[in-house]
Structure 1
């Protein structure tokens, strides 16, 4: 490892024209969460054409365990090292959000945008997928020396990190560290991220005629309204700050009712709670549960009956924080400096695949590829950042 104040240099330069063509080829391939089969086929085809042994390319069964299921699992490509060193993993996710299906990528100066005004670009995270594929192809085509390597393209990141969560870890070959590419600037190192918990809340009331006998009904909408108002008044909804503890919560989906002349007897709600502190996140979850159960007790009909609340929750991803002197952070900083940029450490309030790879025991830093305005029709990819991301990835795979 280079000295902290030394400026490392790149050992190998990737073919950046091929790297640019690769991202242009990947972007229009449809592949929203659970439908990544065509993306997997493209990446496999590229690896085999560059000389990868077919037996070194496998997919796991993560898609059979996810909440969505899906066409295919995570794509894994392993290479034995040409020099003795701990195994490293390079990763990115293949899926895009639905708004990116139908993307028509076009180059606009030093940016790539979608020529279809109704779609996003899908640089989140096809740029990451292309970045690590570029590194793999450069090594294969040029027979570059390298430590043992694992390349992993995750599925279903956009719906709660399902690919990384259900990853068949033994198939990776025991990497000592990992470098993950997702959104943001090429010099941004995400070394920590929050933990997230999602909740499905079902409220059962009692239907009645809203004009003739509303008093006989138990409004599930009324219960939901009381609970949400209680959370808002108590400072437990939105940005939540209690003393030194901090987190967020959100009721993001409500469905119920079919007509105004019927007291609604059923409401479905989806909510979430996030915090870097697992104990405070548990407190947040408890306050949400308490608010809905209390609201169900508060409302009763003329016959003295009350509604009920059923809550089904699950941990989406656990928080993590890497120390600045950990080997993967130091190596990532060196690689960023090698392309002439100054590394910037960041903590994310969203989830990344690294939440799960860290929990699986693989210290993982996440870097950016130049994606901008992700999940929007105005999304674009900064090609200068993307080119540097490809250079950083190859450096980390070979240095």
Structure 2
């Protein structure tokens, strides 16, 4: 017998979640709310020590619900934090679409995933649906560079495999490849002087940096590789030749060789500044997260595709240009795939979520629970 999603309950839950402020490193209020709900469903909930490590208010939450050992165990992961502006979110639900009032993000990234999981748990409880052991990992600081997942102890996970619910686009996408990312922190140094009395004695760090940036390969390098300069900070006053400027950029690629190549090209351009009298340049490159590739024949992919088909959707195996907790899971040897959950225009005040997509996510999750009891083994 088909089981219907309680749409009114689902929608109200999403609105409730979205209107609880949880900017990165300040997820405490949302975490306490979710702990209460999860314990009400019979989960044990453990909070780790990540808060102290990253300077936040909250650690990662690992919730576990015992199940029938004959069935496959699953985990699901969402992040609790959102980008800013996130204070005073008021959700507008009109024509079947969730939006903010336009002065904040909506928070569907990633509260759409959390809302879908909570509705799944309501359905399991109402239907007394058999299931294997279930784990839900709620991470913190994801929007600050996957901080929560980087500090999680993966030996604590007991489930066979699982899914991160955190990709944009209509439901049905299974992310089989995601890029590695390098962060470049660059300080260009010049020499200060009075801009009106003796500018000839100065070396303008902003000008030097600008000249290099104008030569850089930026934007889309190829279909697998991108680069960007995102932050420039420098200067003290208009009457002072600036002696220092800070630049932060990034490079990404699905292929590590390409990542290394584009990063090296940018570094070499900036290093030319060292040849200019009175100038210098310091460059630090940090791997923010590694790439991952999943075989379409891996169980974690086939299982999700089957559940999507049963939910009436056509599975789409796609690469992405963004990183997620899935990058860290797979680097730790945990079989995990990121799934699309309907959010659109994430990280902007125009972010929106179609309610039909939110319902579809719940239907996919429900089919996963059913499928886990039907003998589709890893």
TM exceeding 0.5: yes
Please tell me whether residue 294 in structure 1 is matched to residue 278 in structure 2: no
Matches within 5 A, 1:13-52: 13-50=4-41, 52=42
Residues 115-147 of structure 1 deviation map (CA, whole Å, 9 limit, x = unaligned): x23222111111011112322343355542112
Deviation at 1:86, TM superposition (A): 4.5
Larger displacement relative to structure 2 (361-370 or 135-144): 135-144
| Equivalence for 2:93 | 107
Residues 17-58 of structure 1 deviation map (CA, whole Å, 9 limit, x = unaligned): 3222211211100001111111111111112233x25xx201
| Equivalence for 1:226 | 211
Equivalenced residues, count: 370
Matches within 5 A, 1:345-360: 345-360=317-332
Residues 163-215 of structure 1 deviation map (CA, whole Å, 9 limit, x = unaligned): 12222212222x33211112321111111111111111112222111232223
| Equivalence for 1:147 | 132
| Equivalence for 2:53 | 65
Cα separation, 1, equivalents of 2:199 and 2:241? 7
Question: What SS class does the counterpart of residue 144 from structure 2 fall into?
Answer: coil
Residues 372-391 of structure 1 deviation map (CA, whole Å, 9 limit, x = unaligned): 22222222211111011012
Matches within 5 A, 1:133-172: 133-140=118-125, 142-172=127-157
Cα separation, 2, equivalents of 1:212 and 1:386? 64
The answer to whether the 8 A contact 1:214-1:263 is kept is yes
Question: Of 314, 329, 332, which aligns to 1:342?
Answer: 314
Question: What SS class does the counterpart of residue 362 from structure 1 fall into?
Answer: coil
| Equivalence for 1:283 | 261
Question: What SS class does the counterpart of residue 99 from structure 1 fall into?
Answer: coil
The answer to whether the 8 A contact 1:78-1:172 is kept is no
TM-score with structure 1 length normalisation? Answer: 0.87
The answer to whether the 8 A contact 2:273-2:279 is kept is no
| Equivalence for 1:4 | none
Please tell me whether residue 253 in structure 1 is matched to residue 239 in structure 2: no
| Equivalence for 2:240 | 262
Computed over aligned residues only, the root mean square deviation of the Cα atoms, in angstroms, reads 2.0
| Equivalence for 2:112 | 127
Cα separation, 1, equivalents of 2:218 and 2:51? 33
Question: Of 199, 219, 240, which aligns to 1:238?
Answer: 219
Judged with a 3 Å threshold, the aligned counterparts in structure 2 of structure 1 residues 184 and 160 are, in CA distance, closer, same or farther, namely same
Please tell me whether residue 177 in structure 1 is matched to residue 161 in structure 2: yes
Cα separation, 2, equivalents of 1:347 and 1:137? 32
Deviation at 1:364, TM superposition (A): 1.5
Please tell me whether residue 388 in structure 1 is matched to residue 373 in structure 2: no
Cα separation, 1, equivalents of 2:128 and 2:184? 49
Judged with a 3 Å threshold, the aligned counterparts in structure 2 of structure 1 residues 347 and 316 are, in CA distance, closer, same or farther, namely same
Residues 241-265 of structure 1 deviation map (CA, whole Å, 9 limit, x = unaligned): 4xxx851111111111122221111
Please tell me whether residue 193 in structure 1 is matched to residue 178 in structure 2: yes
The answer to whether the 8 A contact 2:273-2:281 is kept is no
Question: Of 57, 68, 76, which aligns to 2:62?
Answer: 76
| Equivalence for 1:5 | none
Cα separation, 2, equivalents of 1:146 and 1:20? 25
The answer to whether the 8 A contact 1:113-1:121 is kept is yes
The answer to whether the 8 A contact 1:185-1:367 is kept is no
Cα separation, 2, equivalents of 1:286 and 1:11? 56
Larger displacement relative to structure 2 (282-291 or 347-356): 282-291
Question: What SS class does the counterpart of residue 135 from structure 2 fall into?
Answer: strand
Judged with a 3 Å threshold, the aligned counterparts in structure 2 of structure 1 residues 274 and 149 are, in CA distance, closer, same or farther, namely same
| Equivalence for 2:187 | 202
The answer to whether the 8 A contact 1:78-1:150 is kept is yes
Residues 82-126 of structure 1 deviation map (CA, whole Å, 9 limit, x = unaligned): 132443211111111112332111321322222x23222111111
Q: Unmatched 5+ residue regions in structure 1?
A: 1-9, 301-305
| Equivalence for 1:308 | 280
